[in-house]
Copies of this chain bind each other. A is one copy, B any other.
Amino acid sequence: MRFRPVPVTLPGRERSDAAAILADIRRDVDEAILEAIGDMPARSLRLADAMRYAATSGGKRFRAALTVTVTQMLGGTRSMALRAAAAIECVHAQSLVHDDLPCMDNDDLRRGRPTAHRQFDEATALLAGDALLALAFDILADPRTHHHAGVRAELVLRLARSVGQDGLAGGQMMDLYPSEIISSAELIACLAGKTGSLIRYAVEAGILLGHADDQCNAGLLSFAQDLGLLFQLQDDLLDAVGDERVVGKALGKDAAKNRKNAVSVLGAEGAAQEAQRLLASCAKALEPFGDRAACLLELARFAARRTL
């Protein structure tokens, strides 16, 4: 029996302006990424082309939107948030480029276009990924991202941890080499690493760039944790029941490779229920912010009902 996707909803007003928030961010963050990649003729033009192709070809910019929205909600500066957002999208693009390589998922399609190694070649895709990861740290450590070196160093430290063993790379390894018996707890750890880590970091970067007191901070970190899991649950649901033409990448991969994910462990209904619970928890964590959190709540709702 195939599960029919039911958009997760919250009671109360349902505004549909997440798309507007995301479109608005996309333009600005693309500009910030292109500026960071730069245009120096002494460099390898092919490498720069591949970096631009990977990092600015569509994408929802959900992570970028989180950083900018949280920063602005806390009274921080949008231009700084856009730089941090650009760094996060560079890391996201790097993880996708490496994930798509033949030795990993061997994907031909990403965001509705040929994957980077299809458009260029494997070596170029590999090096473009490495260069994008380096560029992310370059952006964050640059004084233009924040005038306090302490904030820059902290942005770097947390990003490094979101990318390494306890983050993206660790999550992808657990995906490739899952334990024989996967418990719900192990699944959560894997989801938290694979996608959750960068979603969580996107919120954390906003906290660092805004002016949050410790209490706000704790509430937002709990929001970030839940949102990361919610986002990955929805990814797994889309992999199981989504429309490839809408999502713009190959689906059904986890089932085809007999890979454990939220749907195979919890069932589609169970995963959807868990997503609903997480969205409610996100909304609760934002309550103290009242109307100021309207955009952020919109983004959480988007994560729960997204079809791509």
Residues of A within 8 A of B (CB): 37-38, 40, 42-44, 46-48, 51, 94, 98, 101-104, 117, 121-124, 126-131, 133-135, 137-138, 140-143, 148-150, 152-154, 156-157, 159-161, 163-170, 172-174, 176-177, 189
Q: Say how far A75's CB is from chain B's closest CB, in angstroms.
A: 22
Q: Which residue of B lies closest to A135 (CB)?
A: B164
Contact A126 B153 (CB under 8 A): no
Contact B173 A46 (CB under 8 A): yes
CA gap between A295 and B296 in the complex, in Å: 57
* Cross-chain contact of A138 among B123, B130, B160 (Cβ < 8 A): B160
Q: Which residue of B lies closest to A158 (CB)?
A: B141
CA gap between A159 and B42 in the complex, in Å: 19
Q: Supply 17 further A-B pairs (C-beta < 8 A) apart from A40-B165, A46-B177, A131-B164.
A: A44-B170, A47-B169, A98-B130, A101-B126, A103-B117, A103-B121, A130-B163, A130-B169, A134-B167, A135-B160, A135-B165, A137-B156, A138-B160, A138-B161, A149-B149, A149-B154, A153-B156
Contact A173 B127 (CB under 8 A): yes
Q: Say how far A102's CB is from chain B's closest CB, in angstroms.
A: 8
Taking CB atoms, residues of chain B closer than 8 Å to A40 are 165-166
* Cross-chain contact of A42 among B122, B124, B176, B189 (Cβ < 8 A): B189
* Cross-chain contact of A122 among B103, B135, B157, B164 (Cβ < 8 A): B103
Q: Say how far A205's CB is from chain B's closest CB, in angstroms.
A: 14
CA gap between A81 and B26 in the complex, in Å: 41
Contact A165 B131 (CB under 8 A): yes
Q: Which residue of B lies closest to A164 (CB)?
A: B134
Contact B44 A177 (CB under 8 A): yes
